[in-house]
Structures are given as C-alpha cells and as structure tokens.
Structure 1
Amino acid sequence: MFERILFPTDFSGPSMKALDYIPALQEAGTREVILVHVIDSKEITTIASGGQGFLGTIPDQETETQRQLREEVQHRIIDTRRALERQGLKVTVRTPLGTPGTEIVNAAEAEGVSLIVIGSHGRSNLRDRLLGTVSEYVIKNARQPVLVIKRDAAAGR
C-alpha cells in the first residue's frame, strides 16, 4: 500500500522522530524511502548576509556558508541513509535548494510516492503551535496522504 514513501527532514529532534516509524511501515509494504533534506534558500541568505563586514563579502561568505551546510548535511544524510538501508529499504536522497514546504510537495509529486512521513515540527519547534509551518504547508498542499509524527510534548522533541 505504501511502497514508496517520502521522508523529509531537517535533522532536528522532532523531525527525526518520524524515522522511528518507518520500520513499522515495512509491514504495510514500504520498500523504498525518498529521503529529502531541503536546503532553505532563505536560511543561506540570512547566514551569509550576517557576515558582511566581518567575514568577507556576501558572495564569499555565501559560498563558505553553503559549503559548511553541505558538509554537515552530507554527514547526517549518510547516517540516516545507512540506518534505513540496514532495515532492508532502498533509499534515494534528494537535497533541493528552495523553500522547504514547496520543495517537499514537489519531490513527492516528482517521485510518485504513496505517503509522506513528516515530523510535526522542525528546527523552530514552536511550542505554542499545533504544527510547524512546513508540516502544515505539506498537509494542505500534498496530494498524497501525510503521516504526521507528533513531537514529545515534555521534551520539546
């Protein structure tokens, strides 16, 4: 029923909690996971512009920022991919640059997935919101069913 699923993550505690639910989905037929980490274009611009005057020009700093983010993300992707592959799942990785909600919905369409498994909150983890802005966008705009994994209320994860 859910042979190909999309697992978007920003590698925060709340979003990675969804990873724990993927093995249970193998009983529902999951054989492949599309692992998506969106490199937020606004985040890169914000980080890079903060370095102007201190760490070089904006273009130089943006390149350095992108390199650092890419290295950090690559390590986390490798670890997550290996964990899924150890469970016997085929894993495809996508790391688009853009707006997270939009890119997640686009990836789900492009990959023809049957389910999106997403954490209720990402890095911002705003306690007073029922859902994070990215998960809310995905729920409202995806054509596929969306399984939202709730964060631990006590731990904020």
Structure 2
Amino acid sequence: MFKRLAIATDLQDGLQRLSHFLPALGAGGVEAVTFVHGVPYRDTGVRTREDTEALAQAEAKLTLPAETGGVQANCIIRSGKPAEVVVQVAREVGADLILVGTQQRNALAEKLLGSDSLNIMRKCEIPLMVIRPQLVQVLTAEELDLRCRHLFYHLLLPYRGRAESKLLLNSVLTQVQKSPTPQVVCCHLVWVVEDPIRRDFAPDPQEIQRAEQELQAVAAQLTPHIPQVYTHVRTGNPVEACLTLAQMLDISAVTLTEAHMTNLWDLSASLGGELLRRIPYPLILFSTPEK
C-alpha cells in the first residue's frame, strides 16, 4: 500500500527503534525508509542559531544498521521547526507515507499545547500514519518485527455515505491500485447509525437497511483489490463503536481523512479528533485534495 516511508522521530517516541527492523519492513513490501529528526534553532536573545550540541547528540542516537534487508535507508537530521523539517524532507525523498508518534491528549491539551503531528497534517499533502509511542516502546523485538511486516494488513474504514467517507474510500482505492504491495489483506467497513441528540434513540430499520445496502456496494468496489472485505453496521456513538470493533477485530490501522478532522482544533468533538485522542491503534490519515 505504501512503499516509501518517512519516519519522523523526536528520539523520545521510540520510532527510532524501527531502524533495527528494516528487513521486516522490506519483507512487508516497503522499499525505502528515511528517518527524519528536526532540531529547533536556539534563541540566544539577539538572534537564532543552530543548536550544534543537540545536532551532535541526535546524530549519535539516530544510526542505521549495516544490514537493511535490501531496503534503501537514510537518516536526515536538520535544524528547523520539526514539523517543517519533516514535511520538507518527505517531499524531497518522494515519501508516500509519513510515520509520526503522538501522545494521547484531551481536546484542551491539544488546543493549548499543539502537536507536531497535527502541524504536519496541516502543512502536507502526503498521508500520515500516527502511531502511539507506547505501542512501539512496549513491544518486544519479536513483536515489533511482526508489526513491521504487517503495517497495512488489516484496515478499519469508517463509512457513512458522506463526502468525507467517499473521499476516504477513493483515497484507499487509489493507494491500493497504485501500490498493490505491501498488500492490504483485509478491510472492515463500519457504518454507525446515530442520533446526534438522543443517546437512547431507537434506530430506524430502514436506515439500517440502507446502510447495509450501501456498504455492500462499497465492498464491491474494494474486493477486486483487497481479498477480504467485511461490512459492519452498528448503532450508537461512532467513536465508541469504532473503538469496540477495533478491539474485537484483527486491526492493523484505522483509516480517516483530514475531512474527518474538521473540528479537531476546536473543543467540539469530531470523529477524527476523538479517535486521534483516544484510540490506541495506528491511524492512517489521508490529506484533502485541495493541498
């Protein structure tokens, strides 16, 4: 699905560990990996200058093994705002996916503190894969090796027939057609019927039937490219339904588009924003076409 990865790391999120699993990434179909680290300029009060000490420390920490399993690998450490450095390097190397780590935060913390992951998404047209640092940090070497082989094997795709859902479907279809390897083996389509006002509403059977029919039509578009496609119609809260299904199913990552994140920088809820804050699974975020 994605062949050329730019892995952004702050050297505290654990993503630098992936440098030791390049053969596993290659076994999963990845062809090239660039590790990226941005070092902010130092403000001396009169003018800004490069933080040579931090640059040297980063170069000592971010290294590549001799054996890469045939994967083209590179490390780029640059001075600048981390988000801007990542976007610049990803474009330079022709990355088709950027991997970033992000901590779980509530809406207020995001509003006040911001996030390099969110800044990258705002600036860049390249899809983003958001990984919880805790996921990488706690896995054993054997577990992480397996994870690297199966980054895109099983996807969860929220769908509801709206513009952002169709954009997500088209983005996934375009990517699997363009890069059939690494292969997506399985995709779970999820439609959640909800009432935005009442929590205890009785769902309309006709709406459920319509959702099932439309999901079957969407599944028909995916099956020529993904061997296993399953449909799920649920009722209630979309975020809770996606969290529950992700726990029950064999999910590698959840897919969304930037359009799902419309309210992410407000305190109001959105499906993408709430999943980004709460779900422990990796998220693949596709950009909007206007960029």
Q: TM-score, normalised by structure 2?
A: 0.41
Instruction: Summarize the alignment of residues 4-153 of structure 1 with structure 2, pairs less than 5 Å apart.
Output: 4-23=154-173, 24-25=175-176, 26-40=180-194, 42-43=195-196, 45=198, 66-121=204-259, 133-153=270-290
Task: Give the Cα–Cα distance (whole angstroms) in 1 for the partners of residues 247 and 190 of structure 2.
Answer: 13
State the superposition RMSD in angstroms. 2.8
Task: Give the Cα–Cα distance (whole angstroms) in 1 for the partners of residues 242 and 290 of structure 2.
Answer: 25
Task: Give the Cα–Cα distance (whole angstroms) in 2 for the partners of residues 144 and 71 of structure 1.
Answer: 29
Task: Give the Cα–Cα distance (whole angstroms) in 2 for the partners of residues 153 and 30 of structure 1.
Answer: 26
The structure with higher relative contact order (CA 8 Å, sep 6+) is: 1
Which residue of structure 2 aligns with residue 57 of structure 1? Answer: none
Bigger Rg over Cα: 2
Task: Give the Cα–Cα distance (whole angstroms) in 2 for the partners of residues 21 and 31 of structure 1.
Answer: 17
Residues 45-96 of structure 1 deviation map (CA, whole Å, 9 limit, x = unaligned): 59x8xxxxxxxxxxxxx5xx61221232122111101111122431111111
Q: CA deviation at 1:31?
A: 0.7
Aligned length: 134
Provide structure 2 residue ranges, at least 5 long, that are not aligned to the other structure: 1-149
Structure-2 change in CA distance of 1:21 and 1:89 (3 Å): farther
The structure in which a higher percent of residues are helix is 1
Structure-2 change in CA distance of 1:22 and 1:44 (3 Å): same
Percent of pairs with identical residues: 13
The structure in which a higher percent of residues are strand is 2
Provide structure 1 residue ranges, at least 5 long, that are not aligned to the other structure: 49-61
2:187 aligned partner, one-letter code: V
Structure-2 change in CA distance of 1:144 and 1:105 (3 Å): same
Task: Give the Cα–Cα distance (whole angstroms) in 1 for the partners of residues 264 and 273 of structure 2.
Answer: 10
CA contact (8 A) 2:264 2:272 kept: no
Q: TM-score, normalised by structure 1?
A: 0.71
Task: Give the Cα–Cα distance (whole angstroms) in 1 for the partners of residues 181 and 258 of structure 2.
Answer: 23
